[in-house]
């Protein structure tokens, strides 16, 4: 049984148009998750360790103010296009579009005011919550009126996130959730003792602005071969890595498939990621620097969390040999990611 509760969480600042932000609490026997109507943000995700003790395993803030200020997309749904678009530019049907550039020379996670920084309209479901918004034609430079639905449902140990969208004009779209996880519990110092595996035979090498070069490189014989579990800290040392911020290329197909697994031996917590998406961005919190005051006054230093963002490949709109990122009128964008929490 999943229970769903809604409560007030705060009000948007007047300069942001005011507006009530609600929090939705989804609870099963083994998982408890809190989600805001602002940015569809997962603020809390509590799951059991092998002794049955609950801990919150996602980074975030205690108050709305933390989320309305600048932060690295903690827990949020990002779009219209997750990840980076080179130089914030793309061409469609002979027309060039210029987006807001907010990450070096590139556009990142939807631009200046992406889906993570807006209020969504909520609807309570028997075992979850569905959020809706209309992204108007021209918002952040993107073409077409885009109707978007993001649905969170909790069933036992499994949190499902479904993304649906329809557009009035052809537009690129790639949606993901940007939760930062630490299976030892948020506020823990690092994720070096986590063991991770990713079901990917290839990854995308990037240039010094984190844009894929266009090459689809085999993981075999490199530090990107995560097909068998590796302990992160030791793996960083072995391959002299400063961390990961790369897209791993998943086996293509529309069906649900297991794409990543993380195990934390000290607590026994495991997290599996299943998805219908063609890519997963593995990010190890390389830019966290301890400057943000998080939940319970925790600070979040470098490598104190990891993200597994299921999505299309970065800059796919400018790379015809990458999976199709365009949504046309009359079509439906529909992808689901499932997070399954267990103990071992």
Q: Is 180 annotated as a binding residue?
A: yes
As a whole number of angstroms, the distance between CA 228 and CA 225 comes to: 8
Token pair belonging to 93: 């049907």
Q: Give the count of domains, the chain.
A: 1
As a whole number of angstroms, the distance between CA 203 and CA 200 comes to: 7
Q: Is 179 annotated as a binding residue?
A: yes
pLDDT for 253 equals: 81
From the candidates 46, 235, 309, 335, which is the catalytic residue?
309
As a whole number of angstroms, the distance between CA 169 and CA 328 comes to: 6
Beta bridge partners of 160: 153, 338
For residue 274, indicate whether it is catalytic: no
pLDDT for 125 equals: 98
pLDDT for 252 equals: 85
Residue with tokens 């449902």: 153
Query: Tens of pLDDT along the chain (344 residues)?
Result: 999 999 999 999 998 888 999 999 999 999 999 999 999 999 999 999 999 999 999 999 999 999 999 999 999 999 999 999 999 999 999 999 999 999 999 999 999 999 999 999 999 999 999 999 999 999 999 999 999 999 999 999 999 999 999 999 999 999 999 999 999 999 999 999 999 999 999 999 999 999 999 999 999 999 999 999 999 999 999 999 999 999 999 998 889 999 999 999 999 999 999 999 999 999 999 999 999 999 999 999 999 999 999 999 999 999 999 999 999 999 999 999 999 999 99
In the three-class reduction of DSSP (H, G, I as helix; E, B as strand; rest coil), residue 87 is classed as helix
DSSP 316: G
As a whole number of angstroms, the distance between CA 243 and CA 246 comes to: 9
DSSP 281: E
As a whole number of angstroms, the distance between CA 72 and CA 76 comes to: 9
Q: Is 261 annotated as a binding residue?
A: no
* ω into 80 cis (within 30 of 0): yes
Q: Is 227 annotated as a binding residue?
A: no
For residue 215, indicate whether it is catalytic: no
Q: Is 328 annotated as a binding residue?
A: no
Query: What CATH number is attached to the domain comprising 82?
Result: 2.70.98.10
Domain span holding position 230: 3-343
pLDDT for 208 equals: 94
* Residue 323 · residue 316 · CB < 8 Å: yes
Other residues' Cβ atoms within 10 Å of the Cβ of residue 238 = 11
From the candidates 22, 109, 140, 178, which is the catalytic residue?
178
- CA angle, corner 129, sides to 18 and 70, nearest 5? 45
Q: Is 245 annotated as a binding residue?
A: yes
């Amino acid at each position: 049984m999943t229970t769903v509760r809604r409560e007030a969480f705060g009000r948007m600042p007047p300069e942001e148009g005011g507006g009530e932000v609600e929090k939705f609490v989804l609870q099963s026997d083994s998982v408890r998750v809190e989600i805001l109507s602002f940015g569809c943000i997962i603020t809390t995700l509590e799951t059991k360790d092998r002794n049955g003790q609950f801990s919150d395993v996602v980074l975030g803030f205690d108050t709305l103010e933390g989320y309305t200020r600048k932060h690295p997309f903690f827990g949020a749904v990002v779009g219209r296009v997750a990840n980076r678009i080179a130089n914030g530019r793309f061409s469609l049907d002979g027309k060039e579009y210029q987006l807001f550039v907010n990450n070096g020379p590139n556009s990142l996670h939807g631009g200046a005011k992406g889906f993570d920084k807006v209020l969504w309209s909520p609807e309570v479901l028997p075992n979850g919550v569905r959020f809706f918004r209309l992204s108007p034609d021209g918002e952040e430079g993107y073409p077409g009126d885009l109707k978007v639905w993001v649905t969170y449902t909790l069933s036992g140990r499994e949190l499902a996130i479904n993304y649906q969208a329809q557009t009035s004009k052809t537009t690129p779209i790639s949606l993901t959730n940007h939760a930062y996880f630490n299976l030892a519990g948020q506020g823990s110092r690092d994720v070096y003792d986590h063991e991770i595996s990713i079901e990917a035979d290839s990854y995308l090498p990037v240039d010094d602005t984190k844009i894929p070069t266009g090459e689809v490189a085999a993981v075999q014989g490199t530090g990107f071969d995560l097909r068998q579990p590796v302990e992160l800290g030791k793996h960083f040392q072995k391959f002299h890595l400063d961390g990961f911020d790369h897209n791993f290329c998943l086996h293509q197909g529309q069906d649900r498939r297991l794409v990543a697994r993380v195990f934390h031996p000290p607590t026994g917590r495991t997290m599996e990621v299943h998805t219908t998406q063609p890519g997963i961005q593995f990010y190890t919190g390389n830019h966290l620097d301890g400057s943000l005051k998080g939940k319970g006054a925790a600070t979040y230093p470098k490598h104190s969390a990891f993200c597994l963002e299921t999505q299309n490949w970065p800059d796919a709109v400018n790379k015809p040999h990458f999976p199709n990122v365009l949504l046309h009128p009359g079509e439906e964008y529909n992808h689901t990611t499932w997070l399954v929490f267990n103990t071992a």
